[in-house]
Amino acid sequence: MTVPEMYGSLVFNDKIMREKLPKDVYKALRKTIDRNTHLELDVANAVAVAMKEWAVEHGATHFTHWFQPMTGFTAEKHDSFISPTGSGEVIMEFSGKELVKGEPDASSFPSGGLRATFEARGYTAWDPTSPAFIKDGTLCIPTAFCSYSGEALDKKTPLLRSMEALNKEAVKVLKLLGNTDVTSVTTTVGPEQEYFLINKEDYKKRQDLIFTGRTLLGAMPPKGQEMEDHYFGTLRPRVAAYMHDLDEELWKLGIPAKTKHNEVAPCQHELAPIFDTTNVAVDHNQLTMEMMKKVADKHGFVCLLHEKPFDGINGSGKHNNWSMTTDTGLNLLDPGKTPAENIQFLVFLTAVIAAVDDYADLMRLSVATAGNDHRLGANEAPPAIISIFLGDELSAIMDAIEKDEFFSAQKKVAMETGAIVLPHFFKDTTDRNRTSPFAFTGNKFEFRSLGSSLSVAGPNVILNTAVAEKLSKVYEDLKDVAPEDLNEAVHARIKEAVIRHKKVIFNGNGYTDEWVEEAEKRGLCNYKTTPDVLPVFIAPKNIELFTKHHILTETEINSRYEILLENYCKSLHIEARTLADMLGQQFLPAVEKTIDRYVTLALKKKQLCETITSKTEKRYIEDLSQAYDTLYDLLQKLTADTEQAESIEDVLAQAKYYQETILAEMAEIRTAADEAERKIPEDLLPYPTYSQMLFYV
Which chain residues interact with Mg ion by CB under 5 A? 192, 319
Taking the C-alpha atoms of 382, 384, 385 and 391 in order, what is their torsion angle to the nearest 10 degrees? Answer: 10
Tell me which residues in 20-49 interact with ligand ADP (CB under 6 A): none
The full length of the chain comes to 697
Among 36, 342, 443, 555, binds ligand ADP (CB under 6 A): 443
Rounded to whole angstroms, the Cα distance separating 28 from 30 reads 5
By beta carbon distance, the residue nearest ligand ADP is 190
Nearer to ligand ADP by Cβ, of 278 and 692: the residue is 278
Q: Which residues contact 585 (CB under 8 A, 6 or more apart)?
A: none
DSSP string, 652-692: HHHHHHIIIIIHHHHHHHHHHHHHHHTTS-GGG-SS--HHH
CB of 283 to ligand ADP, least distance (A): 15
Instruction: Specify the DSSP element, H or E, that contains 389.
Output: strand 388-389
In Å, how far are 84, 295, 577 from 692, measured between CA atoms?
Answer: 55, 22, 25
In Å, how far are 299, 402, 406, 466, 566 from 492, measured between CA atoms?
Answer: 59, 10, 15, 21, 46
User: What is the identity of the amino acid at 428?
Assistant: D
CB of 174 to ligand ADP, least distance (A): 17
Nearer to Mg ion by Cβ, of 52 and 319: the residue is 319
SS (H, E, C) 560-588: HHHHHHHHHHHHHHHHHHHHHHHHHHHHH
Among 331, 555, 558, 639, binds ligand ADP (CB under 6 A): 331
CB of 169 to ligand ADP, least distance (A): 18
- CA 142 to chain CA centroid, nearest Å: 19
Tell me the number of residues near ligand ADP by CB under 6 A: 16
CB of 247 to Mg ion, least distance (A): 19
> Alpha helix (H) ranges present in 480-553?
483-501, 513-522, 530-533, 540-548
CB of 567 to Mg ion, least distance (A): 27
Q: Please, are residues 676 and 631 in contact by the beta-carbon 8 Å criterion? A: yes
Rounded to whole angstroms, the Cα distance separating 583 from 458 reads 36
Nearer to Mg ion by Cβ, of 62 and 319: the residue is 319
CB of 178 to ligand ADP, least distance (A): 23
Rounded to whole angstroms, the Cα distance separating 668 from 660 reads 12
How wide is the angle at C-alpha 693 spanned by C-alphas 306 and 195, nearest 5°? Answer: 30
Rounded to whole angstroms, the Cα distance separating 305 from 209 reads 11
DSSP-derived pairing of the beta strands 388-389 and 268-273 = unpaired
Nearer to Mg ion by Cβ, of 306 and 444: the residue is 444
Nearer to Mg ion by Cβ, of 124 and 320: the residue is 320
Among 167, 288, 316, 323, binds ligand ADP (CB under 6 A): 323
Nearer to ligand ADP by Cβ, of 258 and 522: the residue is 258
586 binds ligand ADP (CB under 6 A): no
CB of 58 to ligand ADP, least distance (A): 28
Rounded to whole angstroms, the Cα distance separating 575 from 666 reads 9
CB of 382 to ligand ADP, least distance (A): 13
CB of 272 to ligand ADP, least distance (A): 4
Which of these ranges, 286-294, 319-327, 471-479, 631-639, lies near ligand ADP under the rule CB under 6 A?
319-327
Nearer to ligand ADP by Cβ, of 190 and 218: the residue is 190
- Partner interacting with residue 560 (select from Mg ion, ligand ADP, none; CB below 5-8 Å by kind): none
CB of 547 to ligand ADP, least distance (A): 28
Among 118, 196, 251, 322, binds ligand ADP (CB under 6 A): 322
DSSP 412: P
Rounded to whole angstroms, the Cα distance separating 10 from 602 reads 67
Q: What are phi and psi of 428, to 5 degrees?
A: -65, 150
Which of these ranges, 86-94, 189-197, 483-491, 621-629, lies near ligand ADP under the rule CB under 6 A?
189-197
- Partner interacting with residue 272 (select from Mg ion, ligand ADP, none; CB below 5-8 Å by kind): ligand ADP
- Partner interacting with residue 254 (select from Mg ion, ligand ADP, none; CB below 5-8 Å by kind): none
Q: Pick the closest to residue 64 from 99, 107, 29, 105 (CA basis).
A: 99
Nearer to ligand ADP by Cβ, of 342 and 553: the residue is 342
Nearer to Mg ion by Cβ, of 76 and 192: the residue is 192
DSSP 328: T
- Partner interacting with residue 67 (select from Mg ion, ligand ADP, none; CB below 5-8 Å by kind): none
Nearer to Mg ion by Cβ, of 434 and 606: the residue is 434
In DSSP terms, 272 is beta-bridged to: 259
Among 189, 250, 576, 651, binds ligand ADP (CB under 6 A): 189
CB of 319 to ligand ADP, least distance (A): 6
DSSP 106: G
Tell me which residues in 229-288 interact with ligand ADP (CB under 6 A): 259, 272-275
DSSP-derived pairing of the beta strands 388-389 and 438-440 = parallel
Nearer to Mg ion by Cβ, of 320 and 567: the residue is 320
Residue 563: CB atoms within 10 Å: 21
Nearer to ligand ADP by Cβ, of 75 and 324: the residue is 324
Q: Please, are residues 673 and 183 in contact by the beta-carbon 8 Å criterion? A: no
Q: Which residues contact 190 (CB under 8 A, 6 or more apart)?
A: 272, 273, 274, 275, 276, 281, 321, 444
Q: Pick the closest to residue 479 from 149, 123, 176, 120 (CA basis).
A: 176
Nearer to ligand ADP by Cβ, of 386 and 463: the residue is 463
Q: Please, are residues 67 and 154 in contact by the beta-carbon 8 Å criterion? A: yes
In DSSP terms, 146 is beta-bridged to: 123, 152
Among 192, 307, 357, 665, binds ligand ADP (CB under 6 A): 192
In DSSP terms, 273 is beta-bridged to: 257
- Partner interacting with residue 323 (select from Mg ion, ligand ADP, none; CB below 5-8 Å by kind): ligand ADP
Which of these ranges, 59-67, 214-222, 320-328, 407-415, lies near ligand ADP under the rule CB under 6 A?
320-328
Among 444, 493, 502, 656, binds ligand ADP (CB under 6 A): 444
CB of 446 to Mg ion, least distance (A): 5
CB of 15 to ligand ADP, least distance (A): 22
CB of 485 to ligand ADP, least distance (A): 33
Nearer to Mg ion by Cβ, of 192 and 617: the residue is 192
- Partner interacting with residue 318 (select from Mg ion, ligand ADP, none; CB below 5-8 Å by kind): none
CB of 188 to ligand ADP, least distance (A): 4
Nearer to Mg ion by Cβ, of 98 and 192: the residue is 192
- CA 389 to chain CA centroid, nearest Å: 20
Residues that bind ligand ADP (CB under 6 A): 188-190, 192, 259, 272-275, 319, 321-323, 331, 443-444
